[in-house]
Amino acid sequence: MNDLAGKHIVLGLSGGIACYKAAELCRALIKEGASVQVVMTEAAGQFITPVTMQALSNRPVYASQWDAREPNNMAHINLSREADAILIAPCSADFIAKLLHGRADDLLSLLCLARPIAQVPLLIAPAMNREMWAHPATQRNLAHLQADGATLLGVGNGFQACGETGDGRMLEPQELLEDVIAFFQPKRLAGQQVLVTAGPTYEAIDPVRGITNRSSGKMGFAIARAAREAGAQVTLVAGPVGLPTPRGVTRVDVKSAQNMLEAVMQHAVSASVFIATAAVADWRPATTAEHKIKKDGTGQCPSMGFIENPDILATVAQSPRATAGALFCVGFAAESHDLLAHATAKRVRKGVPLLVGNIGPATFGHDDNALLLVDERGARELPCAPKLVLARQLIADIAGRIRVSA
């Protein structure tokens, strides 16, 4: 996937130690298909050389508004008109203030001011000491910049170069890349609140053993990311998996099916879309041993009774909000054979408008998948592709259904 193919990004660097991260960010943008034109302030040149950024971007770096390489000597016009977006990373407290007041005493601030606001968005990745970040003047400036149309990408929390710890660090390159990719995605679910379940559940047998399955959670996490990219507020209820939380997604970690049901019911009251991607265990041990069950030398396995777990999808689909049309429910079916037949029957049994089927053994733990979308009219296949690609296709499909039913 090249999520930024065809995009031209002006990457602006203002003064700050976080300039070292801009090198990796530049590489990441290019690997995703974007072309990158670096523009540096004089202060940025104290932290990283133009030679480094030129080598990484494969383009001459601009630093002066009087650059003679431009035939018309109007680099601020030419560079801003060519861009699909201007990304300032790092954006210092001083540069934020400069942007707010429309000052234009260097090339980077000049091209930000000269950009066609309706066509060339401005993305800001702040970087500064925690006290500078928390200062009322900085927060006022950021609020006013956002009101003027700039997009704030936020900051990280942690150890800072000055030796202090707190908010104000520039986000990591991979985080910024994910935010830039999300920025360009169509906002099909703007204003929606999406609830997603992902991963397996874990049903304890004793303190060290349990029943689970091979679901990695990758499909559900991809759906959560795609929904957030589409402009939704997303809550992700995740079983025991080791995946990083998608940017901008609220995560709730659970273990058992009962834990997951409780979390889902708590958040379903405010959701407008529920996507049940998790591979929930159908059964759990009737009792959980207080201590580890040990072998006794007889060669016989201890007998174990099972009881059925709650049906999370059916419970939500039959809730008053879902039956009234205020909550659009989507189910998943991970089957081992006869996918169409099982998915069709499951859709009717669960009472949901859309059921997404896949072959579990062929997708658990993998980075790609193939989906079968089953509704009352029949079935449509989404051919094998990376899970994020399929997630975006599924989100687009769901958004279309919501618009039709609205």
Q: Active-site residue numbers?
A: 162
Tell me the H-state helices in 269-311. none
Q: Are 342 and 333 contacting, i.e. CB atoms less than 8 angstroms apart?
A: yes
Cα→Cα distances 274→75, 133, 158, 227, 234, Å: 49, 37, 34, 11, 10
Helix (H) or strand (E) holding 300: none
Say whether 235 sits in a helix, a strand or coil: strand
Residues present in the chain in total: 406
- DSSP states along 324-353: TTSSEEEEEEEESS-HHHHHHHHHHHHT-S
Going by C-alpha positions, the residue among 137, 136, 181, 132 that lies closest to residue 155 is: 132
Q: How far apart are CA 269 and CA 364, in angstroms?
A: 30
Could you give the maximum distance between any two Cα atoms of the chain, in Å? Answer: 90
Q: Which residues, listed in sequence order, are joined to residue 121 by a DSSP beta bridge?
A: none
Element (H, E) at 12: strand 8-13
Strands 151-152 and 122-126, how do they pair? parallel
Give, in order, the Cα–Cα distances in Å from 276 to each of 312, 314, 317, 326. Answer: 8, 10, 10, 16
DSSP-derived secondary structure for 18-41: THHHHHHHHHHHHHTT-EEEEEE-
